[in-house]
Amino acid sequence: MYTSMQTNLKPLDRRQNTASQAYAQLRAWIISGELRPGQVISEPKMAMTFGVSRTPIREVFKRLQDEKLLDIFPQQGTVVSPIDIALVRSNQFIRETLELRTIALTATHAGPQDIAGLHAQIQAQKQLVEAGDHRRFFAADDHFHETLISIAGQPTVWKTIEDAKAQIDRVRHLSLEDPDWLRRIFTEHLAITDAIAHHDTTEAVAAMQAHLHTVFAAIDKIAQAHPHFLKKDQRTEAPAF
């Protein structure tokens, strides 16, 4: 595990705060699923991975614990937190409330250049689906939603959504590992774009709502394939280290 992460590790800029950089990288590994839910990690090995002392890593672990991304069991060890479905639902409520409001504005305000830009994004997404490149598709998915919000004239709303969707993103990354799911999400993007191109506000809202609700179908899929990835409500003891 640590060897593969070291291969993908961006060298830390020693002129900047190393703890902040290590936090961003470790957080990205957790959200992307490179570090799987329930996976055991340790301060010494992470310090070695980043080439820093244990002190900044301890700070990083605490920040990630506060975000519900790590579970720290004193005197025992640290594991990547299972996905908390209650948090996913809470995050989803925020995201859906904001995106359904803005997609209505997008369908109303989108001009010819906006629509052409969305079609260009759809073509780029199609190539990623055909290549099975789920990591780059994830980034393209985010860019698509950010663009829709920008067309609505509310660009700062995306930052609010980004801050609220860490747990959703964990589900999205895991689901996009399935090629069939990639195609499903792409098809939903196409439906949203078609509705906007026709300035059909009602259909745009319906298509977006159906699209955002796929996160719950993704949770069901993960529960069947990897039930240990999800948080058990009655769990009170530490996992086996």
Helix (H, G, I), strand (E, B) or coil at 180: helix
Task: Report the pLDDT value the prediction gives residue 234, as an integer from 0 to 100.
Answer: 39
- pLDDT value, residue 233: 59
Any alpha helices (H) in the chain, and if so which ranges?
A: 2-8, 18-32, 43-50, 54-66, 85-109, 112-131, 134-151, 157-164, 166-176, 179-197, 201-212, 214-225
pLDDT at 75: 83
> Where along the chain do its domains lie?
2-81, 85-227
| DSSP one-letter string for 226-239 | -GGGB--TT--SPP
pLDDT value at residue 18: 80
* pLDDT, position 151: 98
Q: Are 68 and 88 in contact (CB under 8 A)?
A: no
Class of domain 2-81: mainly alpha
Whether residue 196 is predicted with pLDDT greater than 50 in this model: the reply is yes
Q: Is the pLDDT of residue 238 over 80?
A: no
Cα–Cα–Cα angle for 160, 165, 168, nearest 5°? 160
For residue range 75-125, list pLDDT tens digits in order. Answer: 889 999 999 999 999 999 999 999 999 999 999 999 999 999 999 999 999
Q: pLDDT above 90 covers what percent of the chain?
A: 80
Do 2-81 and 85-227 come out as alike in CATH topology? no
pTM of structure:
0.87
Query: Contact at 8 Å (CB) between 88 and 218?
Result: no
Kindly state the DSSP code that residue 16 receives in the 8-state scheme: S
Across the range 16-26, mean pLDDT stands at: 88
Least confident segment among 126-130, 198-202, 222-226: 222-226
Question: One-letter amino acid identity for 114?
Answer: D
Work out the number of other CB atoms within 10 angstroms of the CB of residue 159. 11
Above 50 in pLDDT, residue 219?
yes
Q: Does domain 85-227 have CATH number 3.30.360.10?
A: no
Which letter, b or e, does each residue of 116-136 get, where b requires 16 or more Cβ atoms within 10 Å of its Cβ? eebeebbeebeebbeeeebee
